[in-house]
């Protein structure tokens, strides 16, 4: 059987580890040739090597995706390897800050907006021209349940993810008639290094996110692969009439609150 992305060229930002790393593995298993763009050189190269050793196709390009010159260079290198064709982009790169609001700084704000929002803008801007030449393409952005459900001590993070939601919708409506789809995947609490750090730091600030609380909120913690498979669906032809949508991967957490 052909894979769901058989013959596709895919770029995944933040694809070295965590849910982005899981997506890199999943996309490659489904037949895509995957360009992993990430700051983490060791993890990125190891991920690409593991995919190749398993019979898939992947390569790593190091870049800070909040920096325009590095994004443009990485995407140009990917396009060269892909003979000018990009079928899908997964904007997964991102991070978080857990702090009481009045302890946050302007530097915190600027950094988090750059990593979580500006990176999405830069990557999409760099990739869209190649998709427009094809007349088709799919973009998936990682947002979060925090875009619509506020959490104490995460005002900056929630704000950046709210921006990701609207970026997704606006790109979808602007480029729909040119064959481009854009959707977002929105995890709840997730078992990644960032996700586990988030829980630890929230607990230290007496936010109710103990293991028992997580079980009440979303049944259990989300696994990285579950986010990767949701992104795969949104990227694939199976979601050909899904555009501008936000897919929550939270096991009913949002609807139960």
Active site residues: 157
Confidence check: pLDDT of 177 > 80: yes
Task: For 157-176, write each residue's pLDDT tens digit.
Answer: 999 999 999 999 999 999 99
- Give yes or no for a contact between 126 and 72, defined as CB atoms under 8 angstroms apart: yes
How many Å apart are CA 64 and CA 5, to the nearest integer?
26
Hey, how many other C-beta atoms are within 10 angstroms of the C-beta on 100? 10
H/E element holding 59? strand 57-62
End-to-end CA distance of the chain: 41
Alpha helices in the chain (DSSP H): 18-29, 41-53, 68-81, 106-113, 119-134, 155-175, 193-204, 211-218, 224-235
Task: For 208-224, write each residue's pLDDT tens digit.
Answer: 999 999 999 999 999 99
Does the predicted TM-score (pTM) go above 0.95? yes
How many Å apart are CA 166 and CA 236, to the nearest integer?
22
Nearest to 86 by CA among 148, 160, 170, 5: 5
Torsional sign, CA 107, 113, 39, 102: positive
Task: For 43-93, write each residue's pLDDT tens digit.
Answer: 999 999 999 999 999 999 999 999 999 999 999 999 999 999 999 999 999
Task: For 89-131, write each residue's pLDDT tens digit.
Answer: 999 999 999 999 999 999 999 999 999 999 999 999 999 999 9
φ, ψ (nearest 5 deg) of residue 190: -130, 145
CA 61 from centroid of its chain's CA atoms: 16
Contacts of 222 (CB under 8 A, 6+ apart): 187, 188, 189, 190, 191, 195, 249, 250, 251
- Give yes or no for a contact between 153 and 105, defined as CB atoms under 8 angstroms apart: no
Sheet holding 180-187, edge to edge: 57-62, 33-38, 9-13, 88-91, 137-142, 180-187, 246-249
Domain ranges of the chain: 9-188+223-248
- Give yes or no for a contact between 247 and 234, defined as CB atoms under 8 angstroms apart: yes
- Give yes or no for a contact between 144 and 187, defined as CB atoms under 8 angstroms apart: yes
Q: Taking CA 184 as the corner, what is the angle to CA 173 and CA 135, rounded to the nearest 5 degrees? A: 45
Topology, domain 9-188+223-248: Rossmann fold (3.40.50)
pLDDT at 257: 75
3-state secondary structure at position 14: coil
Torsional sign, CA 57, 62, 67, 72: negative
């Amino acid at each position: 059987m052909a894979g769901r992305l058989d013959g596709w060229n895919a770029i995944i930002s933040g694809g070295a580890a965590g849910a982005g790393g899981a997506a890199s593995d999943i996309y490659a298993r489904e037949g895509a040739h995957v360009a992993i763009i990430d700051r983490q050189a060791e993890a990125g190269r190891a991920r690409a090597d593991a995919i190749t050793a398993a019979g898939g196709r992947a390569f790593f390009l190091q870049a800070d995706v909040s920096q325009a010159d590095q994004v443009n260079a990485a995407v140009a290198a990917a396009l060269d390897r892909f003979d000018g064709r990009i079928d899908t982009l997964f904007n997964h790169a991102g991070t978080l800050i857990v702090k009481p609001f009045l302890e946050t700084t302007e530097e915190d704000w600027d950094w988090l907006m750059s990593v979580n929002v500006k990176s999405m803008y830069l990557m999409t801007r760099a990739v869209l021209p190649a998709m427009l030449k094809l007349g088709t393409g799919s973009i998936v952005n990682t947002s979060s349940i925090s875009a619509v459900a506020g959490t104490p001590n995460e005002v900056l993070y929630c704000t950046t993810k709210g921006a990701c939601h609207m970026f997704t919708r606006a790109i979808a409506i602007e480029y729909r008639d040119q064959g481009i789809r854009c959707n977002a995947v929105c995890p709840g609490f997730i078992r990644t290094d960032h996700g586990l750090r988030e829980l630890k730091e929230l607990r230290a600030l007496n936010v109710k996110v103990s293991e028992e609380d997580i079980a009440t909120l979303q049944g259990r913690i989300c696994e990285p692969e579950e986010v990767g498979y949701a992104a795969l669906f949104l990227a694939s032809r199976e979601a050909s009439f899904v555009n501008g949508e936000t897919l929550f991967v939270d096991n009913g957490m949002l609807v139960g609150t």
